[in-house]
Structure 1
Amino acid sequence: MSKKAVLGVLAAAIAVAYGGSTWWAASQIKSRYDTAFDELPKQTAMVRVVERNYDRGFLGAVSTVTLEIGCAPEPAAAAPAPVAKPAEGEEADADADEDNKDAEADTAPLKPFRITLRDTIHHGPLAGGSLAAATIDSELVLDAQTQANVEKFFGKAKPLTAHTKVGFSGAFTTDMTVAPAKLAEDGKGQFTWQGAQARMEVNAARTQVRYDLTMPGLDFSDTRSGVTMKMGKLAVKADMDSSAGWILATGKTEGRLDSLEFAAPKGLGTASGGEHKALPTVLLQGIDLIGEATIKDGLYASGGTLKGSGKIGETKIDKFEVGSSARNIHAAGYKKLADAWMQSGAANGCGKGGSKASQEAIKALTDQLAPDIKAMAKYSPEFGLDKMLVEIDGKRAEISYTAGLTGVTDEDLQAPGTALMMKRGVFKANARLPMKWLEKLAETGAESGQTPPPEMVAGLVEQGEQKGFVKRDGDDVTAQVEFSAGSLKVNGKPLGAPGAGN
């Protein structure tokens, strides 16, 4: 065989191989689109695919999808029969009917809205100049009226764009950008948002997700009320495992907000005397957020902590920290409950909130889920505020509580919910507050007559201590409350016992 013939055969083989790879990549991408949009409406009653088009070519494709978000429109009802004019004695009933109609209108759900997404897909193995099964460029498709409204915020920039690179394994990486936005009106105020950027990495099985999100900041001001809000840079990253479903995603999330400032020099409402009461400026700085969730032995646990420093008016906050958690949540039971709730239109506020049909739908769902909710009690579920701490000038105030069920048996589950809570429910709460802070609060409140004068605070605390409601611990006032086995204790003593609130 001649050299030219060999080269020709080789070129043909490469062409066939490339064409086969492209056809395979195109088939895989189309299949994944079909699966994703078939599954989407099954996840929640609030999202529906109303129109979809997939125009597939050899080297690429264009997918256009219109989603309707919100409550599904109710079926058109038959026109009501003409109603005769009420007699004089029936006018009150007619007025009542009109009032009921007005109440139903007030509780009617918001109308659903639609968004259209267009994906321009380049098939691999050389997709968009890179080695990949495909690359996808996504954007919003807006009608003329919506585009005009959007331009008031974003100018000529595209409000949302995303670029996705799909690997041959099916894993993908998406880089998304939300354009900066600005709206200013003379005499009203302005809103300036510096946009957002995010990167998301997802494995082929769609069970592992890593993402990084950055928002440079925003500024808001309202000229008439004087309210202003400024938010500094926000950065969040997460590494999540959704093998058990998105509702039960586990892993760790970390975030940091540089600053958050809120000011209302004219107040937010009107005082009883008809004058606006100014609020002190609140400034929070160096805010760190840590969240974590796990599943072990079929039990789900999650927790989060928020901490930082700041300033309220002229008072400097050296440290604040808030931490909450939930433990021993039966994962399978929780997923069943969450899925049922998400898939119920009534549970998501659809239908007329005050209507009989809506109330009956929610009651039916609650009755259906009641046995599953009670069954979860056997695993001793617990949730609470683990810590809420504020430290100022070396003085610290702290509050915490936990609530849950423990020791629940199959026999207990036969009892009504209230009886179950009284027998197996557990609640514990602790509080610590510096005496100086109580005096300062009294001094501030006394000006408006809302609290006793500061000189009475010490006497009131002493009375509370004599009755067993509080304790003195150095310069602090403390209190403990515990409910378990159907009995209530205050500071370690049963309620009603000497020195325990008798």
Structure 2
Amino acid sequence: MNKKAVLGVLAAAIAVAYGGSTWWAGSQIKSRYDTAFDELPKQTALVRVAERKYERGFLGAVSTVTLEIGCAPDAAAAVASKPAEGDEAEEDDEEDAGIKPPKQLRLTIRDTIHHGPLAGGTLAAATIDSELVLDAKVQADVEKFFGKAKPLTAHTKVGFSGAVTTDLTVAPVKLAEEGKGRLDWQGAQARVEVNAARTQARYDLTVPGLDFSDARSGITMKMGKLTAKADMDSSAGWFLATGKSEGRLDTLEFAIKKKAAADGAAAAETPKALPTVVLQGIDLLADASIKDGLYTSSGTLKGAGKIGETKIDKFELTSSARRIHAAGYKKLADAWMQSGAVNGCGKGGSKASQAAMQALAEQLAPDLKAMAKYAPEAGLDRMLVEIDGKRGELGYTVSMAGVTDEDLQLPGTALMMKRGALKAHARLPMKWLEKLAETGAESGQTPPPEMVAGLVEQGEAMGFVKRDGDDVTGQVEFSDGSLKVNGKPLGGMGSAGK
């Protein structure tokens, strides 16, 4: 065989191999689309696939899907647990006649798909460019905010392993009306990476900033750069995602400015200005894990700032949940998301809707009570504020402890009273209480500052608070069906401190 023949055979082989790879990639991508949209309605009662079209070619495809977000039109009938009887049915019909179900939001998303192995010039199983499809009326409204830019776009790369990387962009918004206000949103960018099994996800988010003002209410808000990232494991379900996440907000400024009184209006009728709140260097840290089937999570928010002329040297807030039975929680969360009644569907406030919610609560009650056996605990571990070297702190936890199989036969309220526990504590500098009284004296909402010391002494004599140097402290504990204040059982008024 001569050289030209060999090259011809080789070229044909490459063409066949490439064509086979392209066809395989197209088949895999369509299969993933089918699976994703089949699963979507099963996850929540609030999202449905209203229309869907998939036009597949050899080198690519176009997927167009319309999602309906909100309650289904027939939700009113779906939430009714059973038909009413006799006169009650007629009364329900009359009562519900004037109640309209919430309006649904429809979003149409068009994906332009390029099949691999060379997808849009990139070595990948596929690349996908996504955008919102808007009708003429909506497009005109959107252009008032985004101009000619596409409000939301995404570029996705699908690897040969099935892993997905998506770059998402939200366009900036600039809107200003004389005498009404302005909005300057600098957009947002995010990168999301998900493994083939959709059990591992990483994301990075950047929001450059926001500047907003409303002349009618006098509200102004400025937000500096926000960044966030996370590395999560969702193999136990998205409600039980584990891993670490962190974020940082450079600055946040909020104020309500006093407006001039309108002609003929009394000064007291005009909104009062509130001190400008400025928060700086705000860090958010979160962590979650599952061990021996029990879920634990914690989150911390901390930073510094200023309220009016008062400088906040430090603030910190930490909350957590511990020993949450993962399987039980997932079952409750799935039922909650899949219930139209719980999500406000149907004729909100109607007897049928209320009955459906009651039926769901009764259905889930045994699972909820069973979780109590694992001694779950949650609360605000600590909220701390430091100003001029003075520190205020408070916190609380609620939990269940020592629950037995026999206890689970009790009604929910009786179980809580028997095995529920609450611990709360607070520490506030005396100077802060005096300052708060001084600030609120003008409105008559607080006692005069000179009365604060006397009231604290009275509370101390009754055992409700304690003095610890320059601070006022208090502790409350409920357990084993009894209440203690500062370590002593709560007796009659005036006897707690004796």
- TM-score under structure 1 length normalisation: 0.92
Contact 2:76 / 2:101 at 8 angstroms: preserved in 1? no
Is 2:133 the partner of 1:137?
Answer: no
Q: Which residue of 1 aligns with 2:472?
A: 477
Distance 1:168 1:235 in 2: 30
The equivalent position to 1:457 in structure 2, one of 444, 452, 459, is 452
How far apart are 1:74 and its partner, in Å?
Answer: 2.3
Q: Which residue of 1 aligns with 2:87?
A: none
Contact 2:75 / 2:345 at 8 angstroms: preserved in 1? no
Structure 1: gaps (5+ residues): 78-95
Q: Which residue of 2 aligns with 1:85?
A: none
Is 2:347 the partner of 1:355?
Answer: no
CA deviation string 1:176-200 (max 9, x = no partner): 1000012222221111100000001
Helix, strand or coil at the partner of 1:192: strand
How far apart are 1:276 and its partner, in Å?
Answer: 2.6
Indicate how the Cα distance of structure 1 residues 99 and 322 shifts in structure 2: closer, same or farther if over 3 A, else same: farther
The equivalent position to 1:304 in structure 2, one of 287, 296, 299, is 299
Superposition map of 1:111-126 within 5 A = 111-126=103-118
Q: Which residue of 1 aligns with 2:496?
A: 500
How far apart are 1:304 and its partner, in Å?
Answer: 0.7
Indicate how the Cα distance of structure 1 residues 218 and 19 shifts in structure 2: closer, same or farther if over 3 A, else same: same
How far apart are 1:501 and its partner, in Å?
Answer: 5.1
Indicate how the Cα distance of structure 1 residues 288 and 412 shifts in structure 2: closer, same or farther if over 3 A, else same: same
Q: Which residue of 2 aligns with 1:73?
A: 73
Q: Which residue of 1 aligns with 2:86?
A: none
Superposition map of 1:362-381 within 5 A = 362-381=357-376
Contact 2:56 / 2:62 at 8 angstroms: preserved in 1? yes
Superposition map of 1:263-282 within 5 A = 263-266=255-258, 274-282=269-277
Contact 1:303 / 1:323 at 8 angstroms: preserved in 2? yes
Q: Which residue of 1 aligns with 2:193?
A: 201
CA deviation string 1:49-95 (max 9, x = no partner): 01111110111111100000000012799xxxxxxxxxxxxxxxxxx
Distance 2:76 2:351 in 1: 18
Aligned AA (2:331): K
How far apart are 1:275 and its partner, in Å?
Answer: 4.3
Indicate how the Cα distance of structure 1 residues 238 and 75 shifts in structure 2: closer, same or farther if over 3 A, else same: closer
Aligned AA (1:123): H
Distance 1:404 1:221 in 2: 43
Indicate how the Cα distance of structure 1 residues 76 and 253 shifts in structure 2: closer, same or farther if over 3 A, else same: closer
Q: Which residue of 2 aligns with 1:490?
A: 485
Contact 1:240 / 1:250 at 8 angstroms: preserved in 2? yes
CA deviation string 1:274-316 (max 9, x = no partner): 3432211111111100111111100111111111111111111
Distance 1:72 1:418 in 2: 34
Aligned AA (2:225): K
Indicate how the Cα distance of structure 1 residues 376 and 231 shifts in structure 2: closer, same or farther if over 3 A, else same: same
Contact 2:200 / 2:234 at 8 angstroms: preserved in 1? yes
Aligned AA (1:500): A
Indicate how the Cα distance of structure 1 residues 307 and 271 shifts in structure 2: closer, same or farther if over 3 A, else same: farther
Aligned AA (1:37): F
Indicate how the Cα distance of structure 1 residues 225 and 305 shifts in structure 2: closer, same or farther if over 3 A, else same: same
CA deviation string 1:332-353 (max 9, x = no partner): 0000000011001111000111
Q: Which residue of 2 aligns with 1:55?
A: 55
Aligned AA (1:62): V
- TM-score under structure 2 length normalisation: 0.93
The equivalent position to 2:438 in structure 1, one of 431, 438, 443, is 443
Distance 1:99 1:288 in 2: 53
Contact 2:210 / 2:224 at 8 angstroms: preserved in 1? yes
Indicate how the Cα distance of structure 1 residues 24 and 252 shifts in structure 2: closer, same or farther if over 3 A, else same: same
Q: Which residue of 1 aligns with 2:81?
A: none
Helix, strand or coil at the partner of 2:196: coil
Aligned AA (2:423): K
Indicate how the Cα distance of structure 1 residues 337 and 76 shifts in structure 2: closer, same or farther if over 3 A, else same: closer
Helix, strand or coil at the partner of 1:288: strand
Q: Which residue of 2 aligns with 1:225?
A: 217
Q: Which residue of 2 aligns with 1:287?
A: 282
Helix, strand or coil at the partner of 1:458: helix
Distance 1:196 1:230 in 2: 16
Aligned AA (1:29): I
Helix, strand or coil at the partner of 1:347: coil
CA deviation string 1:425-455 (max 9, x = no partner): 1100010000111111111222222222212
Query: Greater relative contact order: 1 or 2 (C-alpha under 8 angstroms, separation 6 or more)?
Result: 2
Helix, strand or coil at the partner of 2:457: helix
How far apart are 1:266 and its partner, in Å?
Answer: 2.2
Contact 1:243 / 1:249 at 8 angstroms: preserved in 2? yes
Aligned AA (1:54): Y
Distance 2:376 2:279 in 1: 33
How far apart are 1:151 and its partner, in Å?
Answer: 0.4
How far apart are 1:364 and its partner, in Å?
Answer: 0.8
How far apart are 1:100 and its partner, in Å?
Answer: 4.6
Contact 1:424 / 1:484 at 8 angstroms: preserved in 2? yes
Distance 1:244 1:288 in 2: 27
Superposition map of 1:405-420 within 5 A = 405-420=400-415
Indicate how the Cα distance of structure 1 residues 276 and 98 shifts in structure 2: closer, same or farther if over 3 A, else same: farther
Superposition map of 1:240-259 within 5 A = 240-259=232-251
Distance 1:410 1:101 in 2: 42
Distance 1:99 1:393 in 2: 62
Q: Number of residues paired by the alignment?
A: 480
The equivalent position to 1:343 in structure 2, one of 338, 342, 348, is 338
Is 2:168 the partner of 1:172?
Answer: no
Contact 2:66 / 2:109 at 8 angstroms: preserved in 1? yes
Helix, strand or coil at the partner of 2:446: coil
Aligned AA (1:451): T
Q: Which residue of 2 aligns with 1:2?
A: 2
Helix, strand or coil at the partner of 1:357: helix
CA deviation string 1:446-471 (max 9, x = no partner): 22222222122112111111111111
Helix, strand or coil at the partner of 1:468: coil
Structure 2: gaps (5+ residues): 78-90, 260-264
% identical equivalent positions: 81
Indicate how the Cα distance of structure 1 residues 271 and 424 shifts in structure 2: closer, same or farther if over 3 A, else same: farther
How far apart are 1:242 and its partner, in Å?
Answer: 0.4
Indicate how the Cα distance of structure 1 residues 306 and 23 shifts in structure 2: closer, same or farther if over 3 A, else same: same
Indicate how the Cα distance of structure 1 residues 209 and 271 shifts in structure 2: closer, same or farther if over 3 A, else same: farther
CA deviation string 1:333-388 (max 9, x = no partner): 00000001100111100011121111111111111101111111101111000111
Contact 1:305 / 1:322 at 8 angstroms: preserved in 2? yes
Distance 2:419 2:479 in 1: 7
Distance 1:157 1:450 in 2: 51
CA RMSD in angstroms, aligned pairs only = 2.1
Indicate how the Cα distance of structure 1 residues 288 and 109 shifts in structure 2: closer, same or farther if over 3 A, else same: farther
The equivalent position to 1:146 in structure 2, one of 116, 129, 138, is 138
Distance 2:301 2:266 in 1: 32
Q: Which residue of 2 aligns with 1:331?
A: 326
Contact 2:76 / 2:345 at 8 angstroms: preserved in 1? no
Helix, strand or coil at the partner of 1:199: strand
Contact 1:227 / 1:266 at 8 angstroms: preserved in 2? no
